[in-house]
Chains A and B, each alone.
Chain A
Amino acid sequence: MWFWVGNVSPGTTFEGSYSLWLVALSFLFAFFGAYAALITAPLIAAANKLSIKVLWTFTGSVAFGTGIWSMHFIGMKAFTLPFPVHYNITLTAISIVPAIASGAVALLLFSKSSATFREFAGGSVVLGVGIGSMHYIGMSSMTADVSMAYDPALFMMSVVVAVVLAFLAFYAKFHLKNLSCRFCKKSLLQTLFPAVATALATSGMHYTAMTAAIFYPGDLCSFPGSVIDNNLLVVIANGFIFMLIGLVIVVVQSRKVLERSSLLENIFNKKTDGILVIDENGVIVMFNPGAESILGYSSDDVIGHDITMFMPDAIRKHHNHYLKDNLAPSRENIMGQNREITVITEDGTSIPAEINVSTFTMGEDIMYTATIRDLSARKAAEQALQEAHEKLLKAELEQERQQASRLEAVGQLASGIAHEINTPAQYIRDNLTFLKEGVDDLLGVIKAYQELQAVSPQDAALAEKMKAAALASEECDLDYLKDEMPEAFSQAIDGIGQVARIVSAMKEFSHPSSKEKTQTDINSLITTTTTVSRNEWKYVADLSTDFETDTLSVSCLPGEMNQVLLNLIVNAAHAIGDMVGDDGAAAGAKGNITISTRLDDDWAEIRISDTGSGIPKSVQDKVFTPFFTTKEVGRGSGQGLPICRDIIVNKHAGEMIFESVEGEGTTFIIRIPVEGRNAVKEKQPHE
């Protein structure tokens, strides 16, 4: 190789000319070679055996190298020189080696999923230099009766072009892969673009290098040895590259087909889902292992038999008729739908299954493919779940029923007890009344007798008796009896009145309340509840009521409302008890519980205020949380307020809030809709 130094005078060199068609063809050869090589890259990456990896690398790099090589010689053919040109066979053959070698390196790099800058910079140098080596070895195989020298700057330039464009190819592969582009498919960036860049690298290098070559008269290029004609070489190159590229593409494509069919085979042979194919007469054509395990038959036993063998008797006779009607619109609904059916297995048992039938045509024939899934396990699980659910529901109902019957029993008992107490109360009161009146009368009589004492009797015996009488009345403290006895009877009569009130309140309170809402006077509920709960509050508080109206009628569940009121009254008493303490209570210090009701538009409002300890700010947001309690064990379950809230908010569509100042007291405010008021307003115009 000679480099030309200094200026070239025009008359002393030979000028060549290019055929544009062949230039384009040379580029296409470089491109197809690179493209064929690059489509093997994923196969190299996926190869799980070294031999396969080597095989695909070899195949790809041969395609790559041959592409470069063919490009060169077609490029040479495109360049017409004014003297005959031949090529030395040995050097021509050698020139393909660097192309294939650098192609192998590049291909291995392309088959990687990612590469560092250093790696693909190195790779592009290898590829650029490989292309360059091929070119200059190829150039030195040129045999003609001229001399050839290279312009050193353009020579350098040609290698740089190759390296830079190779770099572009790698850059496209590794750096543009994350580029989101609606129009470019992944394969475009992964294969097509690098192939174009590689082809540009090859042809760019070649044509830059050709401008570096200077031909002048001399004998530097005339070698002895066997040579090959330019035209023949091109034909060989063409044939070679076409065969190779064709081979690579065919191999790669068939490989893909094989992979797909193995994938299909894998799917078909999976054991979980059964797949059956039948023809339009209902004869089984295919039967996969999944179907075997579900239905218990082996595929040999069933292929060629009628599909109805898996069907229950009832359906069997209709099936062929269905098949014949497969064009009926109703079939459309069945195709592609998941249906639950019953199938008969080899041992004659029926199992639930899900089936999805679709139809396809093969040539002129209509085929049906069915996927079938065994539902026994799912059904069993569903049934177990259902049973568990029913059991739970039954237990709940039973509990509710027991609770209801217990409440009813308590109500009846209370009613019976009320009757039993009322009867003796009647005659206790009657007798007390009688005794009181009798004592009054007797005292009148006694007074009359006492007046006798003022008379001085003549008769000594009488005087004696009178003295004894005076003594007797003194002994029994007659004056005291006279004062106390009427009062004792009055108080006893009051006591019986109190007993009657409590009994009546108890009866009202435990009255088996109706399960439906009923118009109820809230004020009487409050009176009843305060009476039955008197023992809870009377030692710590004075209770007063303030009703804005005589009656406050609300549609509600009276039993549940009683429970809410009782809870809140007992809570109020406890809060006051905490504040007053046992000592305070003993000393007579008492708090106040005030219950007021009022009608506010369509809402009945109940306020239950206490002057107790209040609810600390820190727990105010927890008071309606189930099982939250600040009371000591045994005094509160923490269920009271949540239940109250449930009754008010969920069962009566009402509101329940509280206002509390620690150390000053708490007010619970319940608001429930009176109900029906709006309805009345709407109805009125029609009346």
Chain B
Amino acid sequence: MSKRILFIDDEENILHGVRRSLRRMRGKWDMSFAVGGEIALKALNEGKFDVVVSDMRMPGMDGAEVMGHVRNLQPDSFRIILSGETDETQFVRTVGPAHQYLSKPCDGETLIETIETGMNLRLYVGNDPLRSMLGGVETLPMPNDVLFKVIEELDSECADARNVAAIIERDVGLTTQVLRFANSAFFSIPIEVTSPQQAVNVLGFDSIRAMVLSAGIFNVFSVSKSEENELRRLAQNSYAIGTLAQALAEAEGMDTAFARNALCAGCVSHIGTLLLRSYFSDIFKQSVEICEQGELTMHEAEHQLLGNAHGALGGYLLGLWGFNDYIIEAVAYHHEPRQAGHAVISPLTFVHVAQHLCAEMNKNRTQRLPSHYTLDEAYLEQTGLIPRLDAWREIAASTLTEKEASNG
């Protein structure tokens, strides 16, 4: 069945141009074109679309508004803004309702690749209601104290990029959004931004402030102390996985871009957990209970209850938000690397190992039995890296101790 794609623009020439430049996709895609938001909404009421691509600046209803309606009507649709907009406040408005932002002029290749990547994500989450839930995610929960701390630091006389980054690292949702933001085509930053520190550096304080304060991106809520600690731990654990994965990749002689992808993937690896907590809190609680009984791992429990685990959920959302394939794959399969269907050494390899080593270290240190995390030794065997495991344990010990020390 060919994918149904709806293009919306107030400028007919744009629509003609897009139609012509995508002529080569005529066999695969069923493309519709709507001049303006009203016509588009009519089309959306008549039929289902897999992808909606809209201009931002339009008379009457603008792109952000149109996308808001699309999100409500067809939450599982993949929504892309294609705009020549240069105003940051306008851009920020699109971040909630739309998944990605592409800058005009955008070549056909990029558009096709973006859409195809979005469509391929369905492999991670087969279940329609889950996809609707994930596709409809507009805001991420953020504990109010994190917001206060970020703003406080940004507004302080001696605001420092490293302090800001350190606060961002303490929240998985914020980390994810900051990275998504920094890699958006809107800013056309020539490098791939893979850490909060880098993101703060390239975006600058003003953009970070605008993003954090945008009601359309975060849903700020007050949390209890225990919840706050739990979220903090989730973030710290993710960050530890990221830094360890990066260290391991570097130790194996991987190039900088590779290692940075591993870092980034680790940092955002538990965004799925955050989604489960917020949107499927019952299932999340049940999973924790099952896990505590010690019969299943957390990820198995989630599978059983939901049909998908946090890895896949996270991978799917990150995919919609334009994170690169390596990161999507590493996040989606960090507990079950063989599901990736290949044994090529990739960031996934190191994120998987890093999550295992982190769990192992935690277990050693706290003597508390978490869920029994497992290392997929068969997968490692396939990659030929199994003999390196002992060396990696040493790296883990030194990296994580260092990190502990710097965290006080």
Contact = CB atoms under 8 A, between A and B. Distances in A.
Interface in B68-98: 82, 84-87
A435 B18 CA distance: 12
B386 interface: no
A553 interface: yes
Most buried by A among B82, B188, B189: B188
B103 interface: yes
Interface in A399-429: 415, 418-429
A519 B17 contact: no
Contacts of B370: none
Given A415-B87, A500-B105, A683-B163, A426 B14 contact: yes
A430 B406 contact: no
A521 B104 contact: no
B55 to A, nearest CB: 8
A680 B161 CA distance: 9
B21 interface: yes
Contacts of B191: 550-551
B216 interface: no
B57 A553 contact: no
Contact of B408 (A497, A558, A687): A687
A683 B161 CA distance: 13
A428 to B, nearest CB: 7
Given A426-B84, A496-B105, A684-B406, A553 B161 contact: yes
A555 B162 CA distance: 12
A438 to B, nearest CB: 8
Contacts of A422: 84, 86, 103-105
B307 interface: no
B214 interface: no
A634 interface: no
Given A427-B11, A428-B105, A521 B408 contact: no
Contacts of A686: 408
Contacts of B24: 437
A426 B162 contact: no
Contacts of A679: 158, 160, 163
Contacts of A433: 20-21, 107-108
Given A415-B87, A518-B204, A430 B17 contact: yes
A685 interface: yes
A419 B86 contact: yes
A421 B104 CA distance: 9
A553 B201 contact: yes
Contacts of A558: 204
Interface string A314-336: 00000000000000000000000
Contacts of A423: 11, 14, 84, 104
A419 B407 contact: no
Nearest to A556: B204
B201 A675 contact: no
B260 to A, nearest CB: 10
A680 B23 contact: no
B378 interface: no
A509 to B, nearest CB: 12
B201 A551 contact: yes
A435 B160 CA distance: 51
A514 B104 contact: no
A504 interface: yes
B407 to A, nearest CB: 7
A233 to B, nearest CB: 102
B406 A520 contact: no
Contacts, number: 131
B202 A424 contact: no
Contacts of A551: 191, 198, 201-202
B145 to A, nearest CB: 16
Given A415-B86, A437-B24, A521 B17 contact: no
B202 A524 contact: yes
A431 B202 contact: no
Nearest to A412: B87
A508 to B, nearest CB: 9
Contacts of B159: 519, 555, 676
B201 A685 contact: no
A519 B189 contact: no
B101 interface: no
Contacts of B206: 514, 518
A115 B198 CA distance: 92
Most buried by B among A427, A504, A555: A427
Contacts of B198: 551
A607 interface: no
Contacts of A687: 166, 406-408
Contacts of B86: 415, 418-419, 422, 507
Nearest to A496: B105
Contacts of B14: 423, 426-427, 430
A430 B201 contact: no
B261 to A, nearest CB: 15
Interface in B1-45: 11, 13-14, 16-18, 20-21, 23-24
Contact of B84 (A418, A428, A431): A418
B198 to A, nearest CB: 7
B104 A426 contact: yes
Interface in B135-177: 158-163, 166
Of A422, A430, A518, most buried by chain B (CB within 10 Å of CB) is: A430
Which of B16, B24, B84 has the largest number of chain A CB atoms within 10 A?
A: B84
Contacts of B85: 419
Contacts of A499: 105
Interface string A239-261: 00000000000000000000000
A420 B14 CA distance: 12
Contact of A675 (B18, B20, B57, B160): B160
A640 to B, nearest CB: 26
B92 to A, nearest CB: 15
A364 to B, nearest CB: 66
Nearest to B407: A687
B106 to A, nearest CB: 7
A434 interface: yes
Contacts of B162: 676-677, 680
Contacts of B18: 427, 430
Contacts of A519: 159, 161, 200-201, 203-205
Interface in A446-494: 493
Contacts of A425: 84, 104-105
Contacts of A680: 160, 162-163
A521 B202 contact: yes
A434 B20 contact: yes
B21 A434 contact: yes
Contacts of B407: 687
B28 to A, nearest CB: 15
A502 to B, nearest CB: 12
A527 B103 CA distance: 19
Interface string B349-371: 00000000000000000000000
Contacts of B104: 422-423, 425-426
A435 B103 CA distance: 22
Contacts of B13: 424, 427
Q: Top 4 A-B pairs ranked by shortest CB distance?
A: A422-B84, A430-B17, A427-B17, A676-B160
Given A426-B104, A519-B205, 14 more contacts: A425-B84, A433-B21, A434-B21, A493-B107, A507-B86, A514-B206, A553-B161, A553-B202, A558-B204, A675-B158, A676-B162, A677-B160, A677-B162, A679-B163
28 contacts: A418-B84, A419-B85, A422-B103, A423-B84, A427-B13, A427-B17, A427-B18, A429-B107, A430-B108, A431-B21, A433-B20, A493-B107, A499-B105, A507-B86, A519-B159, A519-B161, A519-B201, A519-B203, A551-B191, A551-B198, A675-B160, A676-B158, A676-B160, A676-B162, A679-B160, A683-B163, A686-B408, A687-B408
Interface of A: 415, 418-431, 433-435, 437-438, 493, 496-497, 499-500, 504, 507, 514, 518-521, 524, 527, 550-551, 553, 555, 558, 675-677, 679-680, 683-687
